[in-house]
Structure 1
Amino acid sequence: MIKSKFNLPIIAFIAVVVLSGCASTGDPVPKTSAPASSTSNPAGTSSTALPSSAYPVSIENCGRTLTFDAAPERVVSLWQAPTEMMLALGLEDRITAVAGNYAAYPDSIAKTAAALPLIGNSMSWPSKEVLLSQAPDLVVGQSLEGFAFDTSQGYASVEQIEEGGSQVYGSNLCSSSDALNMTLETPYRTLRDFGIVFGVSDRAEDFITQMEEKKQKVISAVKGLPTQRVAFYNGGDGPLIVLAGGIYDDAIATAGGENVFPADSVYVSKEEFAASNADVILVGTFEGQDFATLSNYLITHFPDLPAVKNGKLVEIHVADTDASISVMRGLTEIANGIHSDLNLEVPAS
């Protein structure tokens, strides 16, 4: 039995939520006088709101119009990805509390993230009372249905938070039905929305440009290379957990591969995995999962797969494939894994 600190349902829960993408888009980004960062790490740059005359501003999010008369000053973030994006835009002074994290923060923002007050953890969100006691003017979540807003678990619903006078923003996922909509560009939408809401659109566009340049480097590097059949394994020994659809399929395809499993796959049988004929197996690891243990399981039980025969088992940190600031790092790692002679420089996190 493969062991990790996560059991299978927990791994699948995180994988599905990390996979999921919000289908909403924001209004066109206005040019502002807010300062833009010229470095690859804007974190630590104090946020600068638009002058009061520039407000109100509005964005479209999950079928709703959110209007802000001023830049929010007390934000509670209930998911790591939007926390990372706020920190990357230098908005740490606007974050009152966070619910926790499911992975180590990227190096570029780790020090700043460590100072954020915690009111929950990666798999247990703050109760309704604890959340509302923070008196937030903006609550940022991943899904606006269930999870952090599940009233049966004692959490505040979106409606209850709004009744208290706060706005609620769905950063990457509006509902579970959006799970297959995510792409590598999903973070761009949230970054642009944060740019509008907090008056740092120039900074957001600068960061998006940097992300897009990293993506284009991969696209150029793999152009013309043979497409490889790729399985993305994430633990389990019957059934096996695989990562497919959404951002995983987009990353694999952009890197010159084809996911061997259908987009709606989460669990597959040993027989299905053995029949995949994968040329490359990406071995996705969360914190607490050991690459050597996972790869040894694959070598022992699937010796006839081309990927195993040819030693094409590649560790990928699943957090680097989240819809957040390190997704192009993950893309580059996947490209290097699929094409062993590529050796692209992996961007800093």
Structure 2
Amino acid sequence: MRIARRLAAVPLLAVLALTGCSGQTSSSPSPESSPSAAEGFPVTVTDARGEVTFDTAPERIVSLSPSTTEMLFEIGAGEQVVAADEYSNYPEEAPTTDLSGFTPSVEAISGHEPDLVILARDAEDAAAQLEKIHIPVLVLPAAETLDDTYAQMRLLGEVTGHAQQADEAADEVQTRIEKVVSETEEAIGDVELSYYHELDTGMYSVTSDTFVGQVYSLFGLRNIADETEDTAGGYPQLSAEFIVEQDPDLIFLSYPGGQSNIDALAERPAFDQITAVQEGDVVELDADIASRWGPRVADFAEDVADAVVAATAEQ
């Protein structure tokens, strides 16, 4: 598979947008001899570095981002994924390896003989090294909005030859989220709730400017982390005193530990004064689902909705 790249200075939304098809066909196998010569190619998309043209659909993909891996399987491109990074633990059939998505090893990646490697923006430095040995690369940034998620799913559909399935998958995720938001609004009425999202026991949190925070905002929840003096780029570390003073109605724990984490939080000094603790509205989230911008963001939204409706029913 041959690709051509034209670097362009583009804003984030443009980075994720699909562009029209362009480029010249190469001496790829004929449609009769290879499924990679799918209808709709060549195709041009825009990743985090510029335009990339694919003459054929990739047959051996290495995905080095858990969110990307989930998207690829969701859009029907799972059989093309030959390797995924160490944290790509979903779905079960994902070919998880010890490959690092943070510090990619060009030698280890090339051992899987990929005709496409998908990197996260944080690992962009490895892209040039891979391209020097003629391995095509796609660099995708972390989604900042739900629209970014839908756009990345569609972009991957274009690249892998699953455009229609990607459109359907993105539409389904969007429909699920819109449905649960609408149903929640109808169920809770004008009730206003505050929340605290805890990333770890160090009391790091997220503001409404983050992807996670924007999911909560869909339900009209007030984020106590927005009130801190230093929002630390969207991931502030809060103090126990601040959390107690803010008295959130809901607390979401986004790290593994189960009931033991909930019990430990309740035992922190003065935390028994917090409404969420008193009313039993401390919710453990699946840390992977709540931190990835893939198709399971709809599951995250539904988990938040369940907690909001339950807390409202107690009032």
TM-score by length of 1: 0.71
1:204-248 per-position Cα deviation (integer Å, ceiling 9, x unaligned)? 111111111111112211223422101011322xx4122333221
1:97–1:119: 8 Å Cα contact kept in structure 2?
no
Find out whether 1:131 has 2:109 as its counterpart. Answer: yes
Tell me how far apart the structure 1 counterparts of residues 224 and 196 of structure 2 sit (CA, whole Å). Answer: 6
Deviates more, 1:223-232 or 1:327-336: 223-232
| Aligned partner (choices 305, 308, 311) of residue 338 of structure 1 | 308
Cross-structure match for 2:30: none
Find out whether 1:162 has 2:131 as its counterpart. Answer: yes
1:31-86 per-position Cα deviation (integer Å, ceiling 9, x unaligned)? xxxxxxxxxxxxxxxx965646x322101111400111111122111111111111
| Aligned partner (choices 181, 187, 195) of residue 157 of structure 2 | 195
Cross-structure match for 1:299: 266
Q: CA deviation at 1:192?
A: 0.6
Cross-structure match for 1:270: 240
State the aligned residue count. Answer: 276
Find out whether 1:95 has 2:94 as its counterpart. Answer: no
Higher alpha-carbon Rg: 2
Counterpart of 2:301, as a letter, is L
Tell me how far apart the structure 2 counterparts of residues 149 and 119 of structure 1 sit (CA, whole Å). Answer: 19
Tell me how far apart the structure 2 counterparts of residues 342 and 325 of structure 1 sit (CA, whole Å). Answer: 27
TM-score by length of 2: 0.79
TM-aligned CA distance change 1:291 to 1:169, over 3 Å: same
Q: CA deviation at 1:149?
A: 5.2
Counterpart of 1:317, as a letter, is D
Q: Which runs of 4+ in 1 moved over 6 A?
A: none
Find out whether 1:221 has 2:177 as its counterpart. Answer: no
Counterpart of 2:225, as a letter, is F
Aligned alpha-carbon RMSD (Å): 2.6
Q: CA deviation at 1:98?
A: 1.4
1:227–1:257: 8 Å Cα contact kept in structure 2?
yes
1:257-309 per-position Cα deviation (integer Å, ceiling 9, x unaligned)? 12110362332222222222211101112xxx212222122212211111112
Q: CA deviation at 1:126?
A: 4.8
| Structure-to-structure mapping, 1:302-317, within 5 angstroms | 302-317=271-286
TM-aligned CA distance change 1:195 to 1:49, over 3 Å: farther
Cross-structure match for 1:34: none
| Structure-to-structure mapping, 1:187-266, within 5 angstroms | 187-223=149-185, 224-236=189-201, 239-244=202-207, 245-262=209-226, 264-266=234-236
| Structure-to-structure mapping, 1:64-103, within 5 angstroms | 64-101=50-87
Q: CA deviation at 1:327?
A: 0.6
Gaps of 5+ in 1: 1-21, 31-46, 151-156, 174-180, 344-349
Tell me how far apart the structure 2 counterparts of residues 58 and 320 of structure 1 sit (CA, whole Å). Answer: 30
Counterpart of 1:129, as a letter, is E
TM-aligned CA distance change 1:257 to 1:298, over 3 Å: same
1:256–1:335: 8 Å Cα contact kept in structure 2?
no
Tell me how far apart the structure 2 counterparts of residues 169 and 28 of structure 1 sit (CA, whole Å). Answer: 15
- Percent identical pairs in the alignment equals 21
Cross-structure match for 1:26: 17
Cross-structure match for 1:9: none
Tell me how far apart the structure 2 counterparts of residues 342 and 305 of structure 1 sit (CA, whole Å). Answer: 16
TM-aligned CA distance change 1:194 to 1:50, over 3 Å: farther
